Structure 1
Amino acid sequence: MEESSGSSSLFAVFILSVFSLFLIPYTIYKLCVAAAPDEVVKPWESKKTSAISRFAGKFFTVQNVLLAVGWLVWVGLVFYVQTQSADLAPFDPFEILKIDRGATDKEVKKAYRQLSLIYHPDKNPDPAAAKYFAESITKAYQALTDEEARKNYEKYGHPDGQQALNMGVALPEWIFSRDKHAAPVILISLIGICILLPLIAAACYLLRSNKYMGPNNVATETLEIFLRSKFAVKESQGLARVLDTLVFAYEFIMLPTPSEQAEGLEALRRTMLRLQPDLKEKPQFWKRKPSIVKCNMLLLAHLLRAPVPPIFANDMKYVLKKSPQFLEEMINIANLARPPAGYGWLTPTIGCLEMAQCITQAMSITARKSLSTGSTKGGTDTNVLLQLPHFDYDVLKKLGRKKVRSLAELSTMDAEERLELFVTSGLTKSQAEEAATSLLSIPTVTLTDVQLQVEGEADGTQLVETDIVTCSVQVVLSRPSHASPDAQPPKGTSVLAYAPMYPYPKPEKWNFIVADPLTNTVYARAETALVDAEAAGLRTAQRAKQPLLLTGGRPSNGKKEVADVPVTANGSSASAAEKGGEVALAAHSAAAAPTGQLVEVKFRAPKAGKYDLTLYCISDSWAGCDRSAAFKMRVAEQTRAEKEGRGGGKARAEIASGDEAARDDNADERDDDDEEDEEDGSEGDWDSEDSGTEESGSEDEDEPAEKEKDGKEKSPEKQ
């Protein structure tokens, strides 16, 4: 028996098998799973591309090119294996002489003579031909003509008799060394590279993945800090306090701050003190861990559009990449069901969304605080222009001298006139083009037909405690770019926001929140991409030959928007004084409004009483584009039969139909007057921006007097 040795042909088979295990499943995934319409729409692109360019951009991606190269390598391996498989084929004299298995001796001799004329050394001087003639053709002839050789072939499969077992290993021959010192090293290397290294890599990956949870890949330590530490999300935490919690994420705490960055940190510190003089009065800000101070200053520099030393380029990208993920988790924590009612907090939810807007468009917190979320005042505030790239207060002053103070005025200008205005206001030509592109991509959202429905009940059914309520609204989204003749209907799953100041692609997400602003309560939140709403807005713009104007919440005709009209739903009634002429205006506007995207938000009805709720529509990418629709909701107390789980449907139908006898029969089971008095007594004004004086994450824990003074805000541990 021969000793085992390597085989290049077997190694090629091994490589082909392993390569196929990865290539074939990935190809199936790309064709079946990844082929779903996940295209990201860019409505701010005005260039009309040809069909060939769109095809090339869709299919000639990096992943597709790598996949094609992988299949070319696979075909090459298959061809190599086929050419090298001759050494592995068993000895077959009939195949070598190219004759049938039932051939006679005469046919065998004839085939041998024909092959001799081709491969005999006297006829063919090629050494390879002589070797093939001696080792294959001659042995095949002997196996079929010589009696002894034929017996050996029939018994052992070879004319020379029993052959020694030749074992081949699916590894290259150069790995097998006869050197006694090199062989152990090669063996240990094979075990370490092929067995131990993959196991170590898998173990490290699993250990690291255990630190994260949720779709945003956020560390569990970060969630613990946001939920239970002294820097946790608080009930009255508005936009100004969100940054105090955001920078204490565990990933930011563990961000390396080597000594090489000391000079850059000092330069960044001087820049921040110049732009934010109030930081001089916050000694606790500079006493924090260097990594936290660095991340805080980097975020402030981004919001203020201040220059950052080049040594922080990678840190800045990391901070901006992780911040939206942390804000999403902070929103989830703010919306957690909390006793006794089981609802979330509105103020930190809006604050985090406003911070996401600021980070996406590099807008300062001061400028964003001047805009009123969901009100009709945002469009007239000049500060809304500060979200445009390269705009600052100097540019706003120059525009103000030319009587231009709003997005609507800029969007209605001629393109050339607008570019010239930007250039004369201090921008370069390229900066002016970026600002114009951003202006034309700012969305305008219209909310119509806000309705409440009880799940599983007929229309007109009165709301009762613990019912599952669905708040639905029709949404239409328009942009000034829809006026372009090259505008195409969006197709895909999301729309990409135009954010040149943000280093990563940013899909637009819209949050629909049903809340009670007086009690700082969030009943439910739904996040969606308004792709269908944009398609409806584009159809409307094409029919009207012009898009909806950028008004920030006020229609161009100056009338009250239908979204702000109180909506009566599901059995609740408004008085004639409440309706007046506004309901007629709402009905007329809703009838004339185009059908847009239907958005539904589900929540559980609260305890019995009357509620003045608000449906907020807030973007995570644009400032001044938020909307709100106010509506009334009346919830009845459960009857005794409903509480006991019997006859609830009949009693509810009787209440909805207005049957006086049914009301008399159930009068002892509910007391609406008491519920209304309790509701009126519990409601009060809520400051949604900067209520409370305690700084989020204050480090002065040794001052009980201050803590008692600001005791309106409970810590998450006590809640």
Structure 2
Amino acid sequence: MVVGAFRSGGFRDSFTKDDAKDDILGYDDTAFYYFVISVLTCVALPWTISVVTSVFKPRQDLEKDFPEKSPEGTKLRYCATAAMAEKVQDVRKAARSFTKRTALSCLIKASVLCLIWAGIFSTGMELSQHKEIKKFDPFDILEVAPTANGPQIKRAYRKLSLVYHPDKNPDDPMAASRFIQITKAYQALTDENSKRNWEKYGNPDGPGTTKVGIGLPRFLLQKEHNFMILTAFFVVLIVMVPMTFICYYQNSKNYAANGVMIETLQFLGYYINEATRAKNGPELLAACAESRCMIARPSDNAHIKQLAGQVVEHKKRVFTLPIVMKNQFLVWAHMQRRHHLMTPELRQDLDELLGHSIKVTQAMIEIACMREWFATAQAMIDYRRCLVQALDVKSSQLLQIPHFKEEHLELCRTAKDPITTLPEFLAMDAPARKALTKLNPEELLDVEAFCSHVGDRVIKAHIEVEDEGEIVVGDVATVTVQMFWKHLQKGEAQGPAHAPYFPEPKFEEWWLFLVEAGSSSSRIVHFERVLDTERMLEEQLRFQVTKAGENKLVLHAMCDSYAGLDQRIELTYTARAEDEVERKMPLFEDDEDLDTCPTLFQQWMGDLQGDESEEEEEEEEGGEEVDSTGEGRTTRRARRKEAEDKECCKSHSSSTSAGEVTSGKSEAGVEEKSNGKDDDSVSGSDDSGSDD
């Protein structure tokens, strides 16, 4: 811990722990106040701006839930039905209104901000009293005027030294430090060398430095505050900081990267199988970890019993945990639109459960896709749109239309041209829809707004192998899917889906599945999740061709927000075997030029060969050069080659030779010495013989 803010250099004897244990000479806490003001300002200023902005503007959650533009910058088109307009209006109203919880939160924030600004103001007032950084001033230390003469300075020194002498203050460590200051001040005013150093360097000990650090204010250095400081540091460093990291780790380790609890992923991975269908969804959602962590009230039992008698369960229950059974009934009641039978508390629980449903159903779909179960993935998407549109697993698609009830469904079924699907109803013109439904004018406006918002989607797909004219086994084929929203204008994007019963805004997501046609297992070849809401978009699905001959694939485009908008496109392609097609790499003019260029190694070897050819040309043109011994270049090169041949022969020979024959010339034999000379001496004699 740094205990000093400013230290006047030169007083090394007074800055040691032995001389002054509890205080330091020249201690100035001005830096502490600057540090406090800087830290508090960095915290208070942006916080104040945020609080003021939140008071005069709607909350940022409004822009997050109902943004005006898409991530690409195009304007989002919202549904103009009365239910959706009221939903957006309620969110805006809630963003501007203050509940008890938000009021308490704002009160706490305002109180803390007031305390912070009060601290900044008081610290500034304290700092304004310090005219400058504290320096060594002997007149101030001796409490005399700058015009004091020698006797006055001497009397002041004697007076103060008697008061602060360590022998008279054995229990006060501050007295020892003060006595040293008084002595140094007296020397600075009476001794010529000390006075000269003080006038030149600012202290009587000569040149020194001023050490600056962020420390504690002076009052915290007093002996009676030591226990408080140690306790505060213990609580902050030993308790608060570790507990913060432990709590964060404990909370984060329970969730996967997609925001779903790891326990939920393990549960779904175990219970989801190839036979799982949409009717299994309510119980799976109610039994996930997010659902089991919800609060169960004692009063919920009576309300759930009343609600259970009004809903129909399409599957026998497996889990009997009370919280699971309660949430399962809530999900079934939502899908069968029994919201009017719920108490406000149960409706809040349902909204919380539906808030978890998007992430949980996303995990369900991904598990089915990873295991290549197309029927299961399709069922989980069906279950998700049942939650979004509040549809039972056996309900008609037409119930997604505003104000439609069973009597309207009967009118559609008994019409001259029966209407049973949502696309058939959307394909009708406005007068025909009016004559068919027999709704009042206000309800008809909502129906037309719904039809205009859902609109018409054109999806096209084709298969190819990039940069190839034929498809061959082993190629990576690409299925390019083009999606076009005909009801959107240029510069518009699709806004949130019409989902008045869902508590959160739900943007459309499209799932693209490539499935083998005619396969009993409906194996998924490839899948993609499309989150883009623009007017035109393109997606590519890639897979490897494994079978020669005619192949058929089916592209399924499924919407997770509306039932009945799915599209199915059949793709047929013929793949040829690898030995049937001979592919040649395309040659370009630039590549042909590169073939004629030498490589870096060839260029390097060419430079070496060029040096040797230059030497030979010089020999041919200028004749042999003769050195000082009278030998020509050719003779020297022959001698070098001759020596290399000798060394090669010696490395392969098992015994030492007495003599050698070189270049067709007979050389005198050299008798082997028995005095221990090595082969090098023999070679040397051979060389001398050849020179002769």
C-alpha displacement at 1:78, in angstroms?
9.2
Taking the TM superposition and a 5 Å limit, the aligned residue runs for 1:406-417 are: none
Q: Distance in 1 between matches of 2:403 and 2:570?
A: 36
CA distance in structure 2 between the aligned counterparts of 1:84 and 1:243, rounded to whole angstroms: 65
Of 273, 294, 308 in structure 1, the residue corresponding to residue 326 of structure 2 is 294
1:629 match = 569
Task: Say if 1:6 and 1:169, in contact at 8 Å, map to a contact too.
Answer: no
Match of 1:362 in 2: 390
Q: Does 1:385 align with 2:387?
A: no
| 1:225 lines up with 2:267 in the alignment | yes
Check whether the contact 2:497–2:506 (CA below 8 A) recurs between aligned residues: yes
Given the alignment of the two structures, is residue 314 of structure 1 paired with residue 344 of structure 2, yes or no?
Answer: no
3-state secondary structure, aligned to 2:287: coil
2:220 corresponds to 1:209: no
The alignment partner of 1:218 has SS state of coil
| Maintained 8 Å contact 1:11/1:169 | no
CA distance in 1, matches of 2:471, 2:217: 79
Partner of 2:301: 262
| One-letter code aligned to 1:507 | F
In the other structure, the counterpart of 1:444 is 456
What amino acid sits opposite 2:459 in the alignment?
A: L
Q: How does 1:692-711 map to 2 (within 5 A)?
A: none
2:377 aligned residue (349, 359, 372): 349
Query: Equivalents in 1 of 2:304, 2:74: separation in Å?
Result: 38
Structure 1 position 154 matched with structure 2 position 94? no
Q: How does 1:547-696 map to 2 (within 5 A)?
A: 596-639=536-579, 649=583
In structure 2, the residue corresponding to 1:531 is in which secondary structure? coil
Provide the C-alpha distance between the structure 2 equivalents of 1:439 and 1:155, rounded to a whole number of angstroms: 90
Are the structure 2 counterparts of residues 385 and 648 from structure 1 closer, same or farther at C-alpha, using a change threshold of 3 Å?
Answer: same
Matched residue type, 1:490: E
Matched residues in 1 for 2:434 and 2:216: separation? 69
Partner residue of 2:472 out of 438, 460, 463: 463
SS in 2 for 1:621: coil
- The CA deviation at 1:7 is 6.1
AA aligned to 2:398 is L
Note closer, same or farther for the CA distance 1:507–1:91 as it changes in structure 2 (3 Å cut). Answer: same
Counterpart-to-counterpart distance in 1, 2:230 and 2:444: 65
Displacement of 1:390 after TM fit?
4.7
Give the deviation of 1:388 after TM superposition. Answer: 3.0
Question: Given that residues 283 and 324 in structure 2 are in contact (C-alpha distance below 8 angstroms), is that contact kept between their aligned partners in structure 1?
Answer: no
Letter in 2 for 1:154: E
Deviations 1:541-582 (A, max 9, x none): xxxxxxxxxxxxxxxxxxxxxxxxxxxxxxxxxxxxxxxxxx
Match of 1:241 in 2: 280
Shift of 1:188: 2.4
**Residue 263 of structure 1: how far off its partner (Å):** 2.2
TM-score by length of 1: 0.53
Q: Is the 8 A contact 1:219 1:250 kept in 2?
A: yes
What amino acid is the match of 2:331?
A: L
Alpha-carbon separation, structure 1, partners of 2:264 and 2:572:
38
Q: Which amino acid aligns with 1:463?
A: V
Quickly say closer, same or farther: Cα 1:435–1:502, change in 2 above 3 A.
farther
Distance 1:525 1:167, change over 3 A: closer
Match of 1:116 in 2: none
TM-score, normalised via structure 2 length: 0.54
For 2:268 and 2:74, locate their aligned partners in 1 and report how far apart those are by CA, in whole Å.
Answer: 31
Kindly provide the amino acid, as one letter, of the partner of residue 476 in structure 1. F
- Secondary structure of the corresponding residue to residue 366 of structure 1: coil
Match of 1:447, SS state, is strand
Q: Which of 488, 491, 498 in structure 2 is aligned with 1:489? A: 491
Alpha-carbon distance between aligned partners in 2 of 1:624 and 1:612, rounded to the nearest angstrom: 24
What is the CA–CA distance in structure 2 between the aligned matches of 1:80 and 1:419, rounded to whole Å?
A: 77
Per-residue CA distance 1:399-427 (angstroms, 9 max, x = gap): 778989566657866699969977539xx
Bigger relative CO (Cα 8 Å, ≥ 6 apart): 1
Seen in structure 2, the aligned counterparts of structure 1 residues 222 and 167 have a Cα distance that, compared at 3 Å, is: same
Whether 1:516 aligns to 2:516 is yes
**Partners of 2:390 and 2:327 in 1: how far apart?**
15
Partner of 1:16: 38
Distance (Å, rounded) in 2 between the aligned partners of 1:257 and 1:622 = 32
Matched ranges for 1:39-188 at <5 A: 42-44=76-78, 85-86=127-128, 87=130, 89-90=132-133, 154=199, 157=202, 184=227, 187-188=230-231
Asked whether the 8 Å contact 1:357–1:620 carries over to 2, the reply is yes
CA contact (8 A) 1:43 1:495 kept: yes
SS class of match (1:328): helix
Deviations 1:173-217 (A, max 9, x none): 89788767xx63564244324552232121122123222223x21
The answer on whether the counterparts of 2:509 and 2:560 sit within 8 Å (CA) in structure 1 is: yes
AA partner of residue 279 (structure 2): A
- Aligned letter for 1:424? N
Aligned-pair CA distance for 1:650: 5.1
The 3 A distance-change label for structure 1 pair 40 and 202 is farther
Give distance in 2, aligned partners of 1:612 and 1:622: 28
Q: 1:472 aligns with which of 447, 472, 480?
A: 480
Residues in 2 aligned to 1:294 and 1:40: alpha-carbon distance in whole angstroms: 43
SS in 2 for 1:475: strand
Identify the residue that residue 559 of structure 1 maps to in structure 2: none
Aligned length: 462
Aligned-pair CA distance for 1:629: 1.0
1:453 corresponds to 2:453: no
Shift of 1:310: 1.8
1:213-235 per-residue CA deviation (whole Å, 9 max, x = no partner) reads: 23x212222222222x2x22x22
CA distance in 2 between counterparts of 1:297 and 1:361 reads 17
Counterpart residue type for residue 387 of structure 1 = Q
**Hey, what's the Cα distance between the residues in 2 that align with 1:15 and 1:622?**
57
Indicate which of 531, 534, 539 corresponds to 2:533.
531
Alignment partner, residue 160 of structure 2: none
CA spacing shift, 1:155–1:332, aligned 2, 3 Å: same
C-alpha contact (below 8 Å) 1:6/1:175 kept by paired residues: no
In the aligned structure 2, how far is the partner of 1:264 from the partner of 1:173?
Answer: 65
- Residues 176/252 of structure 1: CA separation in 2 closer, same or farther (3 Å cut): farther
Partners of 1:222 and 1:250 within 8 A in 2: yes
Give yes or no for contact 2:426–2:455 (8 Å, CA) kept in 1: no
Contact 1:411 1:439 (C-alpha < 8 Å) held by counterparts: no
Deviation digits for residues 675-719 of structure 1 (CA, Å, limit 9, x no counterpart): xxxxxxxxxxxxxxxxxxxxxxxxxxxxxxxxxxxxxxxxxxxxx
Amino acid at match of 1:201: T
Amino acid at match of 1:502: F
Separation in 2 of the partners of 1:414 and 1:291? Answer: 47
The 3-state SS of whatever aligns with 1:184 is helix
- Residue segments in structure 1 that go unaligned for 5+ positions in a row: 48-56, 95-104, 106-144, 338-343, 368-382, 535-595, 641-646, 653-719
